């Protein structure tokens, strides 16, 4: 795709940049998205898997689903999109990643400031005493149990649950303070995460969406770049470098 020169100028002159990311950025690493054509929720019902009542009703089923997804995550590698975002840390005064993903791929790609709004699949905690665990549990005999007798669950945010306050507050502050806010590979339908888009907009940031198709929020953004994030983000790096080189 050709990217408008005006867009490259705005990006190149930005100082504080936020990348707000969703499942689409990890699609090219082989991790399925939730919604859309190949989304996992075309086959599985979120209300049976992604809420606390479903977990308490059938913890083994929910664990099997997470174990399966953990295996996919463990086999996957950061893709060109994650790596481009990490590289952009050297190109702007401040780069913050605010992600809805639980797959750790931004951190593995080298991004330093990453706020995880929906938790992290590598961590687990006891629903009773809240102790954290970072180990691979054997679930062949059922969901893992804590010494205190409580069930251990993945440290992810299910529907109806509050987001980790420190992560959301940090993401919200970054959205308020940035001058450029990228929305990458998210359908923008899940709240309160998606509210950060409007926080950034109301505080004067330019919004640029990168997605393979129009989304719920595309009418609110300044620019939409359509294509795979693993292609567009590396292309942006090249265009920013060219712009800055030709300016002097």
* CB-nearer residue toward Zn ion: 81 or 154: 154
Rounded to whole angstroms, the Cα distance separating 219 from 21 reads: 18
Rounded to whole angstroms, the Cα distance separating 102 from 117 reads: 8
3-state helix, strand, coil in the chain (%, to 5): 40, 20, 40
Could you tell me which of 30, 1, 59 has the C-alpha nearest to residue 212?
Answer: 1
Tell me how many degrees the CA angle 75-125-73 measures, rounded to the nearest 5: 10
22 binds, among ligand BJW, Zn ion, none (CB under 5 to 8 A by kind): ligand BJW
131-150 positions binding Zn ion, by CB under 5 A: 146, 148, 150
| Cα separation values, 142 from 8, 137, 145, Å | 53, 10, 9
Residue 216: CB minimum distance to ligand BJW, A: 8
106 binds, among Zn ion, ligand BJW, none (CB under 5 to 8 A by kind): none
118 given a catalytic annotation: yes
The conformational region for residue 174 under phi > 0 = left, psi -120 to 50 = alpha, else beta, is: alpha
Residues that bind ligand BJW (CB under 6 A): 22-24, 27-28, 33-36, 39, 50, 100, 102, 118, 156-162, 185-187, 189-192, 210-213, 215, 228-229
Residue 113: CB minimum distance to ligand BJW, A: 19
For ligand BJW, the nearest residue by Cβ is: 24
DSSP 171-201: HHHHHHH-SEEEEES----STTTTHHHHHHH
Tell me how many degrees the CA angle 154-50-59 measures, rounded to the nearest 5: 60
240 binds, among Zn ion, ligand BJW, none (CB under 5 to 8 A by kind): none
* CB-nearer residue toward Zn ion: 149 or 204: 149
Q: Which of 68, 74, 82, 118 is catalytic?
A: 118
* CB-nearer residue toward Zn ion: 61 or 129: 129
142 binds, among Zn ion, ligand BJW, none (CB under 5 to 8 A by kind): none
**Catalytic positions, written as ranges:** 118
Residues contributing to the site for Zn ion (CB under 5 A) = 126, 128-129, 146, 148, 150
């Amino acid at each position: 795709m050709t990217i408008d020169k005006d867009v490259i100028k705005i990006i190149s002159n930005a100082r504080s940049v936020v990348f707000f990311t969703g499942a689409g950025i990890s699609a090219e690493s082989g991790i399925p998205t939730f919604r859309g054509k190949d989304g996992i929720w075309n086959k599985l019902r979120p209300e049976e898997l992604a809420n606390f009542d479903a977990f308490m009703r059938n913890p083994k089923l929910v664990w099997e689903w997470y174990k399966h997804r953990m295996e996919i995550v463990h086999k996957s590698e950061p893709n060109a999109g994650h790596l481009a975002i990490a590289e952009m840390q050297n190109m702007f005064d401040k780069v913050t990643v605010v992600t809805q993903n639980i797959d750790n791929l931004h951190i593995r790609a080298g991004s330093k400031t990453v706020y995880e709004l929906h938790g992290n699949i590598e961590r687990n905690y006891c629903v009773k005493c809240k102790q954290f665990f970072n180990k691979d549990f054997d679930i062949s005999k059922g969901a893992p149990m804590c010494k205190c007798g409580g069930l251990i669950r993945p440290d992810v945010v299910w529907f109806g649950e509050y987001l980790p306050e420190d992560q959301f507050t940090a993401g919200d502050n970054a959205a308020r303070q940035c001058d450029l806010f990228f929305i990458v590979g998210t359908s923008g339908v899940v709240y309160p995460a998606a509210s950060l888009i409007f926080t950034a907009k109301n505080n004067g940031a330019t919004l640029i969406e990168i997605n393979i198709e129009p989304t719920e929020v595309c009418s609110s953004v300044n620019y939409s770049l359509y294509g795979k994030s693993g292609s567009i983000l590396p292309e942006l790096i090249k265009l920013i470098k060219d712009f800055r080189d030709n300016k002097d």
